[in-house]
Chain A
């Protein structure tokens, strides 16, 4: 087990404390901003603090990942270190799965239990006495209290943009896999092209998603505030969209690295980690398309 002797323990690093400060400043800024917005206080410092925190985080991300890339390329990482990264990334993705699971759980709970009870069904149907006229249906086109939560006039059909987006995202997983195969065969040109195509597909997905949101907000009255349908719809698709954005940023970094000649057919865990993440957001989308749009 010679690999053990080469396990790389980095010396002191300034990046974690910068990351901590960055995150702290960012959330203090966000909190101040949100609270001032709610209390309608003018001249909030929130956005500024948030922006400063964001700068810290950006500096940290460039610096920390830059260091890791340098170390990796200078051959400091043994195959055992590589395995630590693999475990780390896998469990991180598992934690993301559980994050989405919470929101899917909410959706199932509302549709199977809370909603029907509110509509007067079953022995817990006494909840209906709060709003005796309320009838439950899914999609929820009427809310118990329309003054507080005005219901949407319609919902997004699964068979328009969402279907197109499904095709885009699923094909992007394929193109990414082609890129990976090209990398393993050391065919740099196909690698660059397939990776770039993946990014184009991802960007197209995000554009259509934005178009869908605009349509929902301006024409359907389907908003975050339009009752539980809008809340679950936007939280699930919104967090997914944020993850697609993050995945696309990762892949952009990988594209830049490819263009700079990084990665060898044997050593390219950075690329693989980003690819795993991309496949993960793809799988989440399939869950979303099924349970949020179709069913």
Chain B
């Protein structure tokens, strides 16, 4: 039966055979790999590289906004920086980081030998460097790169777009293919490869939140693909989807985009919810409070994310019924989110807490994400949004949910699982320093944006009124601090990979889950025979 296979696979994959092998040597290990740990590692490094690139663009933005007036860059280039910063951070930094964590941790958490479809997993990863090389190369093309904001509203992105928009569109297609395949892999793995006894309601919350995230990805990435395809047709083939002169509607673009875009923002936060739900119980040394309600809250958030998209469009001219519906539906999201925050707080209540770096990031996550949630509620009020729309208040809001939300969730996960990945403990002192510098830096950077936004400073403009000067200078100083601190994170991770105190199989005494039953560092192949879960 194995005549064909033996020639190229040397019998690997045979039932019950004890043939363990380590990774292949050299560069081709990474190019050809089908191992979920290798692929997870590549996703995480890619994400970090994109985080630094997108961060550099943020530094350009903050440098220009350090003082009123135009100092460093031209408005045209400033627009490209805001656009690319957003696109790279959303699609290049946050999403791949979570896919990387999923690749590493989901098989370990559910006792699976690998992801369900390992070759497709490799394909999902390698499409990302391809897509981003193409997208970043647009900056060097004639007419410059995308300059229409990361939301690429038509007609800015169609009639008035630089020529490079065509490559932007295809880059989005490649990212979309990558995301859909990655999500299908996650769903198939979770639904089909759980160890015997691991029922759905026994799964760690990180697995649950990723299952729901993957569903959201499969549901909305095709809509984004449809959206950019219509742009492509409008630009090159004379269709009039987003042009009223032919009977279409530019507002239609916003509807299609935000039908994708709103679930997308939950795609960027739900896995962080899951990670924090693993980390807080570990350092509070208490089981998670309200596991079942966490699962249902996540599912409710996912459902609601499909019926709130037009709250991004309150000022664009939608009927009153629409304003009211989307306002109330949006406010409903506060209920399941509140359940989650309550559960995290209750988990910590009377726990034996210690504050190692992952816990510091997680506690900051709970507090600061809640601030972002509250400013979200303010924005949800349609009549009030008429004042806030397109101001720095919006920028403050979504940076509060994305930086101390998504990014802190990723940092917390990285510190929590680094011992498992590398076999060494990271440097706790440096980790704490990284946390406090990030914490202070990001609050300095983003908190003043609330004030200038409420006072009317518009977003995406390289110059501003003199009266915003002080707050903007504070923001910029905070941003530089936050940015520089991330190089420290790079140093900490490299130091941890190269050496350090050897990590035990379970370095955190309150941690629970199958991933702590295997040695640190995790062997190249794990759970080839599934564990029994009681």
Contact = CB atoms under 8 A, between A and B. Distances in A.
Given A84-B192, A99-B222, A101-B223, A114 B248 contact: yes
A208 B192 CA distance: 42
A103 B246 contact: no
A19 B254 CA distance: 33
Contact of B119 (A6, A15, A78, A95): A15
B1 A74 contact: yes
A232 B457 CA distance: 39
B233 A231 contact: yes
A84 B188 contact: yes
B379 to A, nearest CB: 23
Interface string A93-110: 011101101110110011
A75 interface: yes
A102 B246 contact: no
A7 B245 contact: no
Interface stretch (A23-31, A154-162, A186-194): A23-31
A80 B192 CA distance: 7
A261 interface: no
Given A8-B13, A9-B113, A110-B248, A1 B196 contact: yes
A234 B123 CA distance: 31
A23 B127 contact: yes
Interface in A124-159: 124, 127, 130-131, 136, 140, 143-145, 148-149
B5 A92 contact: no
Interface residues of B, number: 94
B4 interface: yes
B218 A94 contact: yes
B201 interface: no
Contacts of A287: none
Interface in B158-198: 163, 166-167, 169-170, 173-174, 177, 180, 183-185, 187-189, 191-193, 195-196
A12 B32 contact: yes
Nearest to B125: A16
B33 interface: yes
Given A27-B134, A74-B4, A84-B192, A9 B117 contact: no
B118 to A, nearest CB: 6
Contacts of A71: 4-5
Given A10-B119, A30-B170, A38-B235, A229 B247 contact: yes
A102 B318 CA distance: 19
Helix, strand, loop or mixed for chain A's interface? helix
B221 interface: yes
A260 interface: no
A91 B218 contact: yes
Nearest to B29: A12
Given A31-B170, A114-B249, A225-B237, A19 B123 contact: yes
B116 interface: yes
Given A10-B13, A17-B31, A106 B193 contact: no
Nearest to B531: A4
A239 to B, nearest CB: 8
B22 interface: no
A98 B5 contact: no
Contacts of B240: 143, 148-149, 225, 227-228, 231
A229 B240 CA distance: 9
B32 A13 contact: yes
A10 B118 contact: yes
B253 to A, nearest CB: 10
Contacts of B251: 114
A230 B237 CA distance: 12
A11 B19 CA distance: 12
A266 interface: no
B220 interface: yes
Contacts of B222: 95-96, 98-99, 101-102
Contacts of B31: 17
B166 A224 contact: no
A118 B249 CA distance: 9
Contacts of A30: 170
A250 to B, nearest CB: 17
Contacts of B534: none
Contact of B34 (A13, A24, A31, A143): A13
Nearest to A98: B222
Contacts of A101: 222-223
Given A5-B530, A91-B188, 9 more contacts: A7-B112, A12-B28, A24-B133, A35-B163, A35-B166, A105-B256, A114-B251, A123-B319, A145-B246
20 contacts: A5-B528, A9-B13, A11-B13, A11-B34, A17-B122, A27-B174, A38-B163, A71-B4, A76-B5, A87-B187, A88-B120, A92-B184, A94-B218, A99-B222, A105-B255, A105-B256, A106-B241, A136-B247, A149-B245, A228-B246
Interface of A: 1, 4-17, 19-21, 23-24, 27-28, 30-31, 34-35, 37-39, 64, 70-71, 73-76, 78, 80, 83-84, 87-88, 91-92, 94-96, 98-99, 101-103, 105-106, 109-110, 113-115, 118, 122-124, 127, 130-131, 136, 140, 143-145, 148-149, 223-232, 234-235
Interface of B: 1-5, 8-10, 12-13, 15-16, 24, 28-29, 31-34, 112-114, 116-120, 122-123, 126-127, 130, 133-134, 163, 166-167, 169-170, 173-174, 177, 180, 183-185, 187-189, 191-193, 195-196, 218-223, 225-227, 229-230, 232-233, 235-241, 243-249, 251-252, 255-256, 259, 317-320, 525, 528-530
Please give me the 3 A-B residue pairs with the lowest Cβ-Cβ distance, nearest first: A225-B238, A102-B226, A149-B246
